[in-house]
Amino acid sequence: MTAPVRMVHLGLGGFFRAHQAWYTGAAPDAADWGIAAFTGRSPELADRLAAQHGRYTLIVRGPEHDEMAAQSAVVAAHPGTDVAAWCGYLVRPEVAVVTLTVTEAAYRRDRSGGLDLSDPAVRADLEAVRSGAAPVTVPGRLVAGLAARRAAGAGPLAVVSCDNLPGNGEVTARVVLDLAAAADPALAPWIRDSVSFVTTMVDRITPRTTDDDVRAVHERTGFADAVPVVTEPFTEWVLSGDFPAGRPAWDARFVGDVTPHETRKLLLLNGGHSLLAYAGSARGHDTIAEAMADPVCRDWLSEWWDEASRHVPLPAGELADYRAALTARFTNPRIRHLLAQIAADGSQKLPIRVLPVLRAERAAGRMPGAAVRVLAAWIGHLRGLGAPVNDEGAAPYRKRAGSVPDLLALLAPDLAGDNDLIKAVESLGRGRG
């Protein structure tokens, strides 16, 4: 029997299906928790998944073999443009949880961390929310859905961001409340009272599915699955916040403060990924595992982990274990995690994954060679080295990529007067030719 829809997801992609949907399907009360999932933008995955009634295969790819399991937590799939269907779920009192995996850029923040009200798409959505037309951005869709819920008297619910952003619950609350306050003064107080913005650390490496994966699923299971998902055996989910209308009995960790866990993961795992994406692709590698087989990249990663670990508030033993586990995960030769996939949206990722270490090290009077290397490698990438640039926010940085001081003035104005840092970045850039 199909589970009733009690969860709604925005950003239907690989990671959501390997992580939140997997946790929901594996929960002891899975029969009570169906998910209606919406793509962020293009309809393609929704159409393909809907044609399979939401069913897909999760390929859990270990270093030696694959395990394949049919997944059924997703009971409806819709294109993100179907705002009527989106609001149609949010007005149901039994819908208790909204999850998000929409990428860092989709939160549309300005430099202060609030909603970027100068963004034309945000301004258009402000008008759309006011006039009852269909919004396009993620904050716009959330606000439209919450306005519909309020009007229907459907009660409180939880919004759970699962994107790689520090304080992703607070980030989501801020952009939603900024838009709501600008659109309808009565809506923001209702959201403050009725919506719980849960903060999470999510972790499961999920590379893009390839045609070989599609073929392998068909051969092994007999199911002609057009949209299987590949992931690694490791998985982790740490959450902090309330679920006022209930939640599935996920086998996750619930804590008062996610910060130490997210700092560990964002700096060591994601920061390490970004280092390899820019510096490793410039050395001719295509995947994380290939870069890990290069002793030069391995040394660079180890330097980064030494530097970043100083700024993770966890015991040394725990960090050593995490590094060992990360090494095993990154060297899994059967996971083809493309450096080009990880390199995308660097202008959004560097400030989160690398700049906190750079700032803290400079404040302590040290020159952090590894953080400088990631920055120099990203600048090299903007100049055309390694993985191609796939980043909507990159244009102003590309214009300034010829000058480290100009680029720094835009990326991190507080560091722009640091001449020693500028020299260090420039000299690494020269060294890389």
Ligand X SMILES: NC(=O)c1ccc[n+]([C@@H]2O[C@H](COP(=O)([O-])OP(=O)(O)OC[C@H]3O[C@@H](n4cnc5c(N)ncnc54)[C@H](O)[C@@H]3O)[C@@H](O)[C@H]2O)c1
Contact between 85 and 9 (Cβ < 8 Å): no
List the one residue from 6, 7, 11, 217 that touches ligand X (CB under 6 A).
11
Could you say which residues in the range 327-366 bind ligand 44H, by CB under 6 A?
Answer: 342
Residue 342 touches which of ligand X, ligand 44H, none (Cβ within 5-8 Å per kind):
ligand 44H
Q: Which residues pair with 7 in a beta bridge?
A: 35, 97
The residue (of 96 and 165) whose beta carbon lies closer to ligand X is 165
- Residue 12 touching ligand X (CB under 6 A): yes
Of 10, 238, 236, 181, nearest in space to 103 by CA: 10
Q: Which residue from 30, 50, 105, 255 is in contact with ligand X, where contact means CB under 6 A? A: 105
Piece of the chain touching ligand X by CB under 6 A; list 13-21, 243-251, 296-304, 305-313: 13-21
Q: Does the footprint of ligand X cover residue 25 (CB under 6 A)?
A: no
- The crossing angle, in degrees rounded to 10, of helices 120-131 and 168-183 is 60
Min CB(241)–ligand 44H separation in Å: 20
Interface pick for ligand X out of 5, 6, 9, 14 (rule CB under 6 A)? 14
Site for ligand 44H in 178-217 (CB under 6 A): 203-205
How many Å apart are CA 242 and CA 254, to the nearest integer? Answer: 10
CB 150 within 8 A of CB 195: no
The only residue of 71, 206, 263, 287 in contact with ligand X, by rule CB under 6 A: 206
The single-letter code of the amino acid at 125 is D
| DSSP characters over 315-384 | -HHHHHHHHHHHHHHHT-TT---BHHHHHTTHHHHHHHHTHHHHHHHHHTT---HHHHHHHHHHHHHHTT
Beta bridge partners of 8: 36, 98
For ligand X, the closer CB: 103 or 347: 103
Using CB under 6 A, which of 75, 95, 106, 122 touches ligand X? 106
Residue showing the smallest CB distance to ligand 44H in the complex? 273
Please check whether residue 109 is in contact with residue 117, taking contact to mean a CB–CB distance below 8 angstroms.
Answer: no
Choose the one of ligand 44H, ligand X, none that binds residue 273, judging by a C-beta under 5 to 8 angstroms depending on kind.
Answer: ligand 44H
Count of residues of this chain found to bind ligand X when the rule CB under 6 A is applied:
22
Question: How far from chain centre, in Å, is Cα 345?
Answer: 11
Of 167 and 244, which has the nearer Cβ to ligand X? 167
First-to-last alpha carbon distance for the chain, in angstroms, is 61
Closer CB to ligand 44H, 319 or 340, in the complex: 340
The rounded Cα 321 to chain-centroid distance in angstroms is 24
- Each residue 65-104 as x (binds ligand X by CB under 6 A) or -, in order, gives ------------------------------------xxxx
Binding footprint of ligand X on the chain (CB under 6 A):
11-16, 39-41, 101-106, 138, 163-164, 202, 204-206
